[in-house]
Structure formats: structure tokens, C-alpha cells
Chains A and B, each alone.
Chain A
């Protein structure tokens, strides 16, 4: 019979005590896993959300607020900046020569609580949502004149990145022309008639995020009416209906929870004019405002971002923020310390559970002395009985560890919808984030389980050593005499 089996039998024999020890260890490990995974995933997802461009330009104020608002759709949008400022990033503008793409972001409306963002089709063609990952359409196409014309001429031309959506084009085109509001009640339709503008159809096109499509049931060809205000709780009147021409594939970024409409249509809506005036066509440039501008600098000019950052911030009108830097600050300032405190608590729970292993084994030492003496009388060496106790400690820790990993990932799975709903950050129960090995940052990155598992083994070895040493030193003759 192997020493492993002897140790396992010993654990089984002390079923209740062993179970409680395993449970307490599992709880500690689950907490560690949950905290590490959540921290890792939140960190990664936050960073992913802010990829694809270098700078965010907006009204002077808190750069973090600007980033949270623009990228993560959190909080209330700050004051807008003039449209002309945005134009400085276009080819003819002050910074045009250094910029590969400048995407306007206009905020202020929502649909069923999801943000409606006025922007240009470039958002989906010139920017990737994560490094090497372009936006793709699950159905339909991009919005805008070019895409509409391509659809009109029957080109199965995907303006995002090569997705076949030609099947939907005729349907979309028909819906866009007839503009039958499938999401609009008859009463609202009458009211909306008063606000209809003389706009080209492609001005009133929209592309929606995957989660919005899932939760609202909107699909290609449907129409929706944005409501003024950034959340569903806000009072506001409805605008002209927009037609959904594309549904994005899931990106795991907050953009899954947004509706993107053509900025021309967005600006033409009532209440979006700088002076509050009503217009029956595209809004004149002098009356236009933009909440933020996403700036992707020319990749051949790596220092351009620094130059633009400095120049914009030296001015009085706007600020430029590095999204990744702001997210790092957010992580280090708020998320990091909280996660560290939770981690410390979790580690303490594991240590307490480990002490529980020692206490459990020591408490049963009288009984064990007899067993050890019997084994020794059968020829077991001192090293063998030491190994049995060490193995027992190891098995308890490993069982607790495995149970803890499962429990931790279940907790993450359970927390996932909540985190997604509150932050737009998508995490999954089966995601295994990695950690950098201290002193080898950037060199050795391994899954956290590969760090925790040896850690548990080491801990089990340390806590198991003390009772194992007592077992090693058992006076067999005396223990046998007592047993008899």
C-alpha cells in the first residue's frame, strides 16, 4: 500500500475535521483566485477598451473623467468643445499632418439606458478595438454615405473588415428608405413627425453593439428613437428615429453596450445645436459641438502623440489625455489598493486555514502516535511516517486549493453579469489571467494557478512539517506500551 493511500485513508478517517479544513482552505483560495482574476480581468478589459488610438481630446477638466466618459460610457459627459477644434485634427487642420484618424464622439442621448454616440464611420474602419482586432459586423454594414452607396450598388463590400453581410443589404436599404419605425408607438410617431428633418437617409443610420442587440432585440432594419440624456432615468424628449444598418460582433469592450449613429444625424437632432436653435438640415459648423475626439496618430511618427498632447494641453480650450495612462492611474489609485487589501485578507484566510491543518493534525496526535507506532512495528521507517503526515497536509491543501479554484471561478462567473452591467467590462468564469513573476517582469508571465499551486504546496510543506516532525520523533516503544 502506497504512502499516498495511507495518507488519504487517514484523511478519510477524520472526515469531518478534514472536510472543515479543506473548506476553510478552499474559501481562502477562492478569495485569492476571485480577487486576482477580477483584478486581472478588470485591468485587461479596461486597457483593452482604451486601445486603438493614442489620445482623447475633450474639454479641460479631469482627464480621468474624460476617459471614463468617452471610453467606458461612465458618468456624465463634460462640457463639449467646438466642432472646429475637432477639425484641427482633420487633414487640413493644425495637427492633420500628424494624425492617421480623428473620430468625433458626441454624447448626450440614450436608448433604453444604452448610450447613443454620434460619430463617424471611421470609428469602425480606422480604429481597432484591441491590438490586431478590427471591428467586425455580425450582421449588416457600417453606417454612412460610402457604405450606403456600396450597399446601393450591390457591393458586398465590408467597410469594417471583410465580413460578409451582403445578404442584409437589400432589406436594410428598403427599411432605410421607408423608415418604418418598428420600435415606435403610433402616438410617438405622430409627435415625431413634427421633428423630422430634411436629411439624407444615411445620416440617420446606426450601428449597434452586440450587447445592445441582445438586450433590446434591435436588429438590422429596425429603427429606434434616442432619448435626450445619457441614462434611461433622465427625462427627455425623443428624437428622429435612426435605422439600424449594422450589428457589431462582441468585442468585450464597453462599446458592446452602445449605439453608434451617424454624427450628422446626431447633430441634426433637436437640442444638439450650440444655441438650441432648430434646423431642417445638417447643422451648420459654427453651431456644432463635440464631446470628445479620439486621436490616432500617424504610426510612422511615433512622437506625434507627445507633441499633440503638449500643444493641446498648453492651450486654454481643450485637454488631451492618454487613455492608457489614465487607466493605469485609475488602477493604481483605486482598484489596485482595494484589490491588494482583499488579497491580503484572502492570503490571511489561507494562512488561518493552514494553521487549521496544523491544529487538526496536532489534535489527533495522540491517536496518530498509536497508528505511527503500529506502522513502525510493521517496519515503517521514521521517514515513511514523516512522509505520510506531510502527504496528508499536502493533500488537504491541494484538495482545498482545487476546490478553491473551482469556487473562485464560479464566483467570477456569478459576478460576471454584475460587473458587465456596472462597468461594461466582460469577464468570464473560465478566464485564467496571467501574472508576472516578481523581478522578472516582462520576461516570465504565467497563469496565476501556476503560481498559487506551488505556493500552496510550499505552504502545506511548511505547516505539515511541524506535526510530521513530532510523528518522526514518536517513541514507538512507549506508544506501543500505551496502546496495549
Chain B
């Protein structure tokens, strides 16, 4: 489902020199597979997620999702591809403050080139336990509820791959497991490949497959 091959990325510094960040020879995830990606600060995990999501373009290499090499697509096509095939959950949820829970989920359907399916959005919100919170804005939701809204938003377009960047890091320990279970269960139900970045051993140890970025990224290993 997801194949990252020979991906390299470096950033240009203000003094004109370049800083190599990423060199991943190969990284693959099967359809419906769930894995935890573990790495310390500066290991390049966020950069890798952005490259997989098509937000950042690698200097070299290919990123294939559901049979499409997204590095070959132009920006507009990558945007559309991202809207349709990828879900993204952030550490800080990144809900839009002016929109209700339902609108935040519908926003996820606004750029995929199809008419938003409100029934699907409602169904997902109910699935994550927010059936009575459709019209609540983020400020009126608890932290756990906000993250559950973000989960619903990420899955609303039936993506093939869900990228989760430390989705439980901002949640109190009582709700961490609840949210993690929710993400894994819904991904399983929807047959979505899950790549979850974490540095918490209590989270990573629950996954059948754990990849260490220091091992994937030859630069981080060095």
C-alpha cells in the first residue's frame, strides 16, 4: 500500500549550505497494516510523514501509495491525491476553532473533488462517541473529544493510509489509551494502513510492528 524508496531530503540553510535530513532506502507498509514509528527528536520523523503525505517533496526517491508515485505528481494533483488517499492526525489535533465538530469533519471532505457526504461525517462522529456533539466548537470539547474529532476528520474520506503524528502526546494518560484504541479500531474497520509516530514505549509496544527511524533513516543512524 505504501512504499518509500531511496528517499533523500536535505534543507538549505540561511548561509547557503545544505543540511541532509533524511535518507531512507526502503520503507513499506501493507494495506491495513498498523505500525509504530519510533524516533528521537531530530530523527526526521515529521519530515518523513510530510514526504509521505506529499506536503514536502523529496530531493530524490519515490513514494508510492496505492500504486501511485506521488513524487511524479504536480502540486495540485498531489493535493487532490492527499485529500482522497491520506488521512493525517496531528499531535495538537489542529481543528479549526471557528467550525463545529461536524464542520471540521466536513472540511476534510471539502477538497477531495466530490460532494461532501454529511451522512458519512455524522456516522463517523457517532462512531468516535461524539454523536451529541455535532454542533460543538472545539473550545467546547474536551481534549480527548477534540482528538476524536480529528480522528473522524482524518478517516472521513476513506483513506488508504493514515498518518498519525504523536496523536496521544497532548492527551492526559486517562484518555490516551481510549484514543489510541479508537484510532486502531477504526483503521482496522476501514482497512486503513496506519503509520503512527510516537516516542512513548507504552504506545509503541502495543503495535505488532515497530520501526525505529534511526534504523530506517541512514542519516539519523550516522
Q: Which residues of A contact B (CB under 8 A)?
A: 1-3, 6, 9-10, 12-13, 370-371, 373-384, 476-477, 480-481, 483-484
Given contacts A379-B80, A476-B55, 20 further A-B pairs with CB under 8 A are A9-B98, A9-B99, A10-B98, A377-B53, A377-B55, A377-B88, A377-B90, A377-B94, A378-B82, A378-B107, A378-B108, A378-B153, A379-B112, A380-B79, A380-B111, A381-B80, A480-B50, A484-B91, A484-B92, A484-B94
Taking a contact as CB atoms under 8 Å apart, the answer to whether B110 and A12 are in contact is no
| A13-B97, A13-B98 as given contacts; A378 in contact with B55, CB under 8 Å | no
Q: Mark B137-166, 1 if CB is under 8 A from A, else 0.
A: 000000000000000010000000000011
Q: In the bound complex, what is the Cα–Cα distance between A477 and B57 (angstroms)? A: 10
Q: By the criterion CB–CB under 8 Å, are A379 and B84 in contact? A: yes
Instruction: Tell me the smallest distance from the CB of A245 to a CB of chain B, in Å.
Output: 70
A373 to B96, CA, bound (A): 11
5 A-B pairs whose Cβ atoms sit less than 8 Å apart in the complex? A378-B110, A484-B46, A484-B90, A484-B92, A484-B166
Cα(A13)–Cα(B103), bound, Å:
14
In Å, the complex CA distance between A403 and B110 comes to 31
Residues of chain A lying within 8 A (CB to CB) of residue B53: 377
User: Assuming A375-B111, A477-B55, is B116 touching A1 (CB within 8 A)?
Assistant: yes
Given the complex, which residues of A lie within 8 Å of B88, measured CB to CB? 377-378
Q: Which residues of A contact B47 (CB under 8 A)?
A: 477
Q: Are B94 and A483 in contact (CB under 8 A)?
A: yes
For B80, what are the chain A residues with a Cβ–Cβ distance below 8 Å? Answer: 379, 381
Q: Which residues of A contact B99 (CB under 8 A)?
A: 9
Within 8 Å CB of A6, what residues of B?
107, 110
Secondary structure type dominating chain A contacts: helix
Q: Do A484 and B103 have beta carbons less than 8 Å apart? A: no
B83 within 8 A of A: yes
Interface residues in B85-122 (C-beta closer than 8 Å to A): 88, 90-92, 94, 96-99, 103, 106-112, 116
Given contacts A1-B107, A9-B99, contact A379 B79 (CB under 8 A): yes
Cα distance A370–B97 in the bound complex, in angstroms: 11
* Distance of A13 Cα from B47 Cα, bound (Å): 31
Smallest Cβ-Cβ distance to B51: which chain A residue: A477
Q: How far does the alpha carbon of A380 sit from the alpha carbon of B79 in the complex, in Å?
A: 6
Docked CA distance A378–B50 (Å): 12
Q: How far is the CB of B74 from chain A (nearest CB, A)?
A: 11
How far does the Cβ of B42 sit from chain A's closest Cβ, in whole Å? 12
Given contacts A378-B153, A380-B79, contact A480 B90 (CB under 8 A): yes
CB distance from B113 to the nearest CB of A (A): 9
